[in-house]
Amino acid sequence: MPIPELDTPALVVDVDRLETNLARMAGRAEAAGIDLTPHAKTHKCVPLARRQLAHGARGLTVATLDEAELFADGGCDRLFIAYPCWAGGDRAARLRALHERVELRVGVDSVTGADQLAAAIRGADHPLTVLIEVDCGGRRSGVTPDRIRDLVTHCLRIGLDVAGAFCHPGHAYTSPGQVPGAAADERAALTTAGAVLTWLLDRPPVLSGGSTPTALDGLAHPLTEVRPGTYVFGDRQQMHLAAVPEDEIALVVAARVVSVPRAGEAVLDAGSKALSSDRPAWLTGHGWIAEAPEATVAALTEEHAVVRGLRRPPAVGDLVRVVPNHVCTAVNLGREITVVSDGKIVDMWPVGPGARR
Amino acid sequence: MPIPELDTPALVVDVDRLETNLARMAGRAEAAGIDLTPHAKTHKCVPLARRQLAHGARGLTVATLDEAELFADGGCDRLFIAYPCWAGGDRAARLRALHERVELRVGVDSVTGADQLAAAIRGADHPLTVLIEVDCGGRRSGVTPDRIRDLVTHCLRIGLDVAGAFCHPGHAYTSPGQVPGAAADERAALTTAGAVLTWLLDRPPVLSGGSTPTALDGLAHPLTEVRPGTYVFGDRQQMHLAAVPEDEIALVVAARVVSVPRAGEAVLDAGSKALSSDRPAWLTGHGWIAEAPEATVAALTEEHAVVRGLRRPPAVGDLVRVVPNHVCTAVNLGREITVVSDGKIVDMWPVGPGARR
């Protein structure tokens, strides 16, 4: 993945690797007969989303109203806000407008949240579709399986259309060894949810699973849908968790050596405002440098990365490629992605508003 | 600091507290006869910068060309890029344009960097002013004191105007106990630099110190200038490092409880894309909740904060105020700041482009 001379720090995607990643996941989902609804919070990038849809994705997953509006504006007509989306205040009208524009599904994990959603779309000509969020062990949001029945019953009573349930096996990210267990937990939780929902609903439930590390495990019964995000680019976390090889990494942060203060050390112009400081406890350092895989990105401040353990002496001005720990939070910090093919710039893609509402 | 009902997550500044913070630091610097050149990377906000200048700041400090352009466009006529700014490629013309628009000073810590700066402004009608960055123990960028003489001599030879030296005592951030030591290290390094520079220059050198925790220690000989950033808002880190009391904190991230999955826990809609995941090793958790100071923001993902140890049962929809660990990276994630006074919204301030070049 050679990259051209460019201004730094810069998000750079190798479009050929990206296409390979998109095609591979789409092909696997299609072969398994499972819907692929990629999580677009990873890229917030309309041109990239269009490629996912062209590869057969059944719409997109998003986390926020801002993201939903970005992709609705970009032409996506099927969106899943896989989040216990609050619909109070001005957000009610925004949610309602989305509901009228696209085929919208929204996550719900509480009676209060469900009531707000129902109030937001009151009077619409078709009901809002919701999926019940189930906690499969990640201990974030989501109801425990024993509370599914009551929540579904409530949602149906207030006029919401319950289509199924979804999980995010976030504990896959707690250590590389945890991935198979998290995938099994997700299957178990969705199996339980499926049994409850089959009893309560008049059609087979959607059972939707999340996360890139568990996505391949998820392409099987009982899941009907997967929502991986990071697979498009890969990142240092996925290199460890999902054993993504270096030659499948499609996005790097191009950075420049701006200081060589001590022997074996370099300071790059990509700090926590470019790479983000996301770092799981099981991972040392803040990125993987393609030109110096032996080195450690030992410290990040806002605009500096201090690199230690370099074998070859760096020079001020050197351009390097940093694979960030977590690509979603790194991309969120950029305004555009430089698109390269064979080391040449072929396009510039905007990254949607540093959107988080 | 009451806040009004608003969409979340949102950056909210209490403008009365902000004014108090601005006036206090400006008054102390003025009384000490030391220039205050606040670091504007904390806020990237032109209306706030104008208030700093109105309080007597001698221009602004920035870290990037983007920030320099933002504040030059906003009317600031004296800027210090306190960073070993790379001036190659397209950046040369941008630096040159800034040099012609405002009274510009740029940090330098290498011969290569100095050569690039000199090349960028070649032919200009006045020389570019640089300050030598000296490492006082933070082990980031900056030369060791024994290398100052050679670098100054080189800069003068290639036509740069050397005005003095600057430090950032970044090791003040390594633990609350380290602040006095870091301040002393800064004074020592600038004393050494001052001796060298007095010998080499034809006017008294600028000796510029950084950081909010050490700013008050820095308002004395040998420093001639201080560059604190975070003092405008305060944050959870400063509450511990600089003993900023809760009632001086001027900025919070307003967040909402979107899920109450387990007893004593709440999930907020402010994750690492709102609070940032900056967290020093000596600090547990990801923020301080004004409504629940006993609780821990135990886990952050992109759009969720999981709060544990709540004494009072939370409800979905509750609005809370989170003091972020590091306000600079949190503000960098926003697009605007909601300005409140006595709990009422009085203004909206834009946050400059999610700028990092």
CATH number of the domain that residue B91 is part of: 3.20.20.10
At residue A2 the predicted structure's pLDDT band, cuts being 50, 70 and 90, is confident
Digit-coded pLDDT (tens) for A165-183: 999 999 999 888 899 899 9
Instruction: Examine the pLDDT at A354 and tell me if it is beyond 70.
Output: no
Both B148 and B264 in a single domain? Answer: no
- How confident is the model at residue B242, as a pLDDT? 85
What token pair was written down for B288? 């301080």
Both A203 and A66 in a single domain? Answer: yes
At residue A121 the predicted structure's pLDDT band, cuts being 50, 70 and 90, is very high
Most confident range, picked from A5-9, A348-352, B58-62: B58-62
Both A95 and A182 in a single domain? Answer: yes
Of the candidates A177, A200, A228, which is a domain's last residue?
A: A228
Q: A101 and A76 in contact (C-beta within 8 Å)?
A: no
Both B302 and B346 in a single domain? Answer: yes
Kindly report the nearest CA distance between residue B31 and chain A, in angstroms.
Answer: 31
CATH number of the domain that residue B327 is part of: 2.40.37.20
Q: A1 and A329 in contact (C-beta within 8 Å)?
A: no
- How confident is the model at residue A355, as a pLDDT? 39
Report ipTM for this prediction. Answer: 0.96
Digit-coded pLDDT (tens) for A32-61: 999 999 999 999 999 999 999 999 999 999
- Best of B117, B168, B316 to mutate (most A CBs within 10 Å, chain A): B316
Lateral strand order in the sheet of B225-227: B35-36, B225-227, B206-210, B161-166, B129-133, B103-108, B78-84, B60-62
B20 falls within a domain = no
B325 falls within a domain = yes
CA distances from A54 to A23, A34, B90 (A): 10, 16, 36
B234 falls within a domain = no
Digit-coded pLDDT (tens) for A249-261: 999 999 999 999 9
Answer whether B85 sits within 8 Å of A258, measured CB to CB. yes
Residues B357 and B355: their CA atoms lie apart, in Å, by: 6
Both B66 and B147 in a single domain? Answer: yes
**Helix or strand or coil: residue B329?**
helix
Chain A: residue whose CA lies nearest to B140: A306
Q: B171 and B185 in contact (C-beta within 8 Å)?
A: yes
Answer whether A259 sits within 8 Å of B142, measured CB to CB. yes
CA distances from B182 to B167, B209, B219 (A): 11, 11, 14
Both B245 and B209 in a single domain? Answer: no
- Neighbouring-strand partners of residue A103: A78
CA distances from A348 to A333, A336, B56, B157 (A): 16, 7, 42, 41
CA distances from A355 to A42, A44, B106, B246, B336 (A): 12, 8, 32, 29, 11
Kindly report the nearest CA distance between residue A41 and chain B, in angstroms.
Answer: 9
Residues of B in contact with A306 (CB under 8 A): 139-140
| Alpha carbon distance, N-terminus to C-terminus of chain B | 35
Both B301 and B328 in a single domain? Answer: yes
- How confident is the model at residue B356, as a pLDDT? 38
B27 falls within a domain = no
At residue A244 the predicted structure's pLDDT band, cuts being 50, 70 and 90, is confident
Both A113 and A172 in a single domain? Answer: yes
- How confident is the model at residue B243, as a pLDDT? 81
Answer whether A259 sits within 8 Å of B109, measured CB to CB. yes
Both A139 and A272 in a single domain? Answer: no
Q: Which of B352, B250, B350, B337 is nearest to B6 (CA)?
A: B337
A149 falls within a domain = yes
Of the candidates B228, B253, B269, which is a domain's last residue?
A: B228
Residues of B in contact with A303 (CB under 8 A): 41, 63-64, 83, 356
Q: Cβ–Cβ contacts within 10 Å for residue B94, how many?
A: 18
Upper half-sphere CA count for residue B340 (Cβ side, 13 Å) = 20
A92 falls within a domain = yes
Answer whether A334 sits within 8 Å of B354, measured CB to CB. yes
Both A178 and A78 in a single domain? Answer: yes
Annotate B103-157 with DSSP letters as a single string.
EEEEEE-SHHHHHHHHHHTTT-SSPPEEEEEB-SSS-SSSB-GGGHHHHHHHHHH
- Closest Cβ opposite residue A357 in set B7, B113, B260: B7
B25 falls within a domain = no
What is chain B's pLDDT, residue by residue, as a tens digit (357 residues)? 777 789 999 999 999 999 999 999 999 999 999 999 999 999 999 999 999 999 999 999 999 999 999 999 999 999 999 999 999 999 999 999 999 999 999 999 999 999 999 999 999 999 999 999 999 999 999 999 999 999 999 999 999 999 999 999 999 998 888 898 999 999 999 999 999 999 999 999 999 998 888 888 888 889 999 999 999 999 999 999 988 899 999 999 999 999 999 999 999 999 999 999 999 999 999 999 999 999 999 999 999 999 999 999 999 999 999 999 999 999 999 999 999 999 999 999 999 864 333
B1 falls within a domain = no
B330: domain range?
A: 239-350
Answer whether A335 sits within 8 Å of B354, measured CB to CB. yes
Answer whether A260 sits within 8 Å of B353, measured CB to CB. no
Both A177 and A198 in a single domain? Answer: yes
Answer whether B141 sits within 8 Å of A261, measured CB to CB. yes
Burial class of A342 by CB neighbour count within 10 A (0 to 12, 13 to 18, 19+) = exposed
Both A220 and A267 in a single domain? Answer: no
At residue A357 the predicted structure's pLDDT band, cuts being 50, 70 and 90, is very low
Domain tally for chain B? 2
Q: What is the mean pLDDT of residues A309-331?
A: 97
Of the candidates A228, A259, A281, which is a domain's last residue?
A: A228
